[in-house]
A and B are shown apart, each in its own frame.
Chain A
Amino acid sequence: MKLAITGGTPQFETQLERRFGRCAYFIIVDTETRAWESFPNPAAEARGGAGTQAAQFLANQGVEAVVSGDFGPNAFTALDAASIQMYSAQEGQAETLVDDFLAERLARVTGSTGLAHHGGGRSQGGRRR
Chain B
Amino acid sequence: MILTVASGKGGTGKTTVATSLALAIADISPVLLDCDVEAPNAHIFLQPQFDQRREIGLPIPEVDEVRCTGCGRCAEVCQYHAIVVMGGKVLVFPELCHGCGSCTLQCPEGAITEVANLLGVLEAGPAKDGIHFAQGVLNVGEPMAVPVIRELKQWHPFPEGHTIIRDAPPGNSCPVVETIQGSDFVLLVTEPTPFGLHDLRLAIQLTQELDIPAGVLINRDGIGDDGVEEYCRKSGIPILMRIPLDQRIGKAVARGEALVEAFPEYLPQFRELYAQIQSLIDSRLEDALPQAMGPRPSDGAKAGRL
Q: Which residues of A contact B (CB under 8 A)?
A: 43, 46-50, 52-53, 55-56, 59, 74, 77-78, 81-83, 116, 118, 122, 124-129
Contact = CB atoms under 8 A, between A and B. Distances in A.
Interface stretch (B17-25, B99-107, B166-174, B292-300): B166-174
Contacts of B89: 81
A52 B78 CA distance: 11
B171 A118 contact: no
B84 A78 contact: yes
Contacts of A49: 78, 80-82, 93, 96
B170 A127 contact: yes
Contacts of B175: 125
Given A46-B81, A50-B81, A118-B95, A128 B171 contact: yes
B149 interface: no
Contacts of B78: 49
Interface string B58-94: 0000000000000000010011111111110101010
A82 to B, nearest CB: 4
Residue of A50, A116, A124, A128 ringed by the most chain B CB atoms within 10 A: A128
B80 A48 contact: yes
B84 A128 contact: no
Contacts of B169: 127
A128 B10 contact: yes
A128 B81 contact: no
Q: Which 6 A-B pairs have the closest CB atoms?
A: A49-B81, A125-B173, A82-B86, A53-B81, A129-B10, A52-B81
A65 to B, nearest CB: 15
Nearest to B177: A125
B91 A48 contact: no
A43 B173 CA distance: 22
B11 interface: yes
A122 B173 contact: yes
A115 to B, nearest CB: 12
Given A50-B81, A56-B81, A118 B87 contact: no
A86 to B, nearest CB: 14
B95 A127 contact: no
A128 B170 contact: yes
B84 A55 contact: yes
B9 interface: yes
Given A116-B95, A125-B171, A56 B87 contact: no
A50 B84 CA distance: 12
Given A128-B9, A129-B170, A48 B84 contact: no
B95 A52 contact: no
A118 B143 contact: yes
B199 interface: yes
A78 B84 CA distance: 7
Given A47-B80, A78-B93, 18 more contacts: A49-B78, A49-B81, A52-B82, A52-B83, A52-B91, A55-B86, A56-B75, A56-B81, A78-B91, A81-B84, A81-B87, A83-B86, A125-B174, A127-B170, A127-B171, A128-B170, A128-B199, A129-B11
Contacts of B199: 128
Nearest to A56: B84
Given A46-B81, A49-B96, A81 B171 contact: no
Contacts of A50: 81
Contacts of A56: 75, 81, 84-86
